[in-house]
Amino acid sequence: MRFSDDGTPEVVRQKTREVLSIMTPGGGYIAGASHDYILEETPVENILAMFEAVDAFEATDRIS
């Protein structure tokens, strides 16, 4: 998710949800960050936004 280093936290949340909606059908996915994608210049707010979006998506998925 290269948008995490120059997007806003809301853009990061939206793109994270988009990726999860594509990758989750059928299960077997692992949501996480890679050292290749979290660059030193990535705002901490964007990293937190990604993890918050994953948590929210997984909570919604468990409810439905």
Amino acid 15: pLDDT:
92
Amino acid 41: pLDDT:
86
Among 40, 39, 51, 38, which residue's Cα sits nearest to residue 9? Answer: 51
Contact (CB, 8 A) for 12 and 1: yes
Give the integer Cα–Cα distance in Å for 6 and 22: 23
Amino acid 10: pLDDT:
95
Rounded to two decimals, the pTM is: 0.78
Domain ranges of the chain: 2-23+30-63
Contact (CB, 8 A) for 61 and 22: no
First vs last Cα of the chain: how many Å apart? 26
Amino acid 32: pLDDT:
80
From first to last of its 64 residues, the chain has per-residue pLDDT tens of 566 667 899 999 999 999 999 988 888 888 887 767 788 888 999 999 999 999 999 887 655 5
